[in-house]
Amino acid sequence: MINSFHPPKRILMGPGPSDVNPRVTAAMGAPTIGHLDPAFVGLMDEIKELLQYAFQTSNQLTIPVSAPGSAGMESCFVNLLEPGDKVVVCQNGVFGGRMKENVERCGATAIMVEDEWGKPIDPNKVEEALKANPDAKMLATVHAETSTGARSDVKTLTALAHDHDCLSLVDSVTGLGGIELDVDGWGIDAIYSGTQKCLSCPPGISPVSFGERAVEVISNRKTKVQSWFLDMNLVMGYWDGSGGRTYHHTAPVNSMYGLHESLVMLKEEGLENAWARHALNHKAFAAGVEAMGLSFVVEVDYRLPQLNSVTIPEGVEEAKVRAALLNDYNLEIGAGLGALAGKVWRIGLMGESSCKTNVLLCLGALDAVLTDMSAPINSGKAVSAAQAIYSA
């Protein structure tokens, strides 16, 4: 007989999802109401306002797509591109490759600017590609590359896009709420994110924001958006309260309760404080990792504080380490992806998971497991090195 499901209690320190605050889970357990109920419509307006704060934008088309971050990515591409368009796509990890997939599935051409995994995108290469392709419609780049833990200079890249009369499209699935992001200040035309990273909300919703230039492109398409569900010309009618709500789809009501609460918590903490908290916990974690004798793939100047790619010691079976952490400590960390598979662990310090307790627990557990496996590390050094950062 199949019984009710009771998930184990885990500490989520992988590349996402992150730990969810009890306030968010409690909000999601509130009574379900209709997706056109006046009370829910009021909540929708508040979610839009809170997302505008998180993105640092006044864009009216700032909404949560009722699907995971991958759908947010697809919504941007299918709305902004038409067959025959040309896009300069920056790739320094897995998710730049997914951008290329989306471009091609829209019938457009992807001009690739590739950099080494673990390095930021080189603006000089981007400028060369834009000069060589004056008919390019858009520049697409990943702000925070989840597969490597590298941060690219989106502010500079967006300025280059505008210099060459291109739209700027940004993936900040892992960036939003964890590191500086200023959509209006940097001039980003379209951006997408996810709820399960630094917003610490369960997966299943993708915040997106489209600026005036992007909305103009969407409104003046020559062809229909290839996805009915993600067509912003239709979705706008549901999320734009100025002319009354037009039914489009049944929104995930209880998930929206959770997103609202997580954004309320972000506003209470303050964006700058959230960024500072992620930076401090990363600094302490990095001190512990390096005291242990391990290293990072990404150099400190462009390393994401919320996603740490830690090199695996010589002779260690990385999957066994992850299994031991999960089984003995209820602690989840992630494996490497793509070119870094088998070479790194991806350890998240995102949102609710970014706290002193988790930093010290992870370092102590990793130290104990590796010591037990006779790995070549400096045993017993990690926790005290991290504590020294906190004490300072």
Nearest in space to 387 (alpha carbons), one of 359, 352, 353: 359
Question: All domains of the chain, ordered by start, with CATH?
Answer: 22-268 (3.40.640.10), 270-391 (3.90.1150.10)
Q: What is the pLDDT of residues 184-215, one digit of tens each?
A: 999 999 999 999 999 999 999 999 999 999 99
Q: What is the pLDDT of residues 80-134, one digit of tens each?
A: 999 999 999 999 999 999 999 999 999 999 999 999 999 999 999 999 999 999 9
What is the model's pTM? 0.96
In the DSSP assignment, the letter for residue 243 is G
Q: What is the pLDDT of residues 270-304, one digit of tens each?
A: 999 999 999 999 999 999 999 999 999 999 999 99
Neighbours of 241 (CB within 10 A): 12
Asked whether the beta carbons of 78 and 230 are under 8 A apart, the reply is yes
User: Residues 66, 174, 70, 335: what is their CA dihedral angle, to the nearest 10 degrees?
Assistant: -130
Residues 6+ apart with CB under 8 A from 195: 64, 69, 201, 202, 203, 204, 205, 206, 207, 258, 259, 262
Distance CA 65, CA 70 (A): 10
Residue 181 has pLDDT above 90, yes or no: yes
Q: What is the pLDDT of residues 337-380, one digit of tens each?
A: 999 999 999 999 999 999 999 999 999 999 999 999 999 999 99
Q: How confident is the model at residue 247 (pLDDT cuts 50, 70, 90)?
A: confident
Give the DSSP letter string of 373-384: TT-SS-TT-HHH
How high is the pLDDT of residue 243? 61
Asked whether the beta carbons of 364 and 379 are under 8 A apart, the reply is no
Q: How confident is the model at residue 242 (pLDDT cuts 50, 70, 90)?
A: low
pLDDT average, residue stretch 240-246: 71
Asked whether the beta carbons of 278 and 179 are under 8 A apart, the reply is yes
How high is the pLDDT of residue 241? 66
Asked whether the beta carbons of 137 and 85 are under 8 A apart, the reply is yes
Q: How confident is the model at residue 245 (pLDDT cuts 50, 70, 90)?
A: confident
Nearest in space to 128 (alpha carbons), one of 110, 150, 111: 111
Is the bond into 305 cis (omega within 30 degrees of 0)?
Answer: no
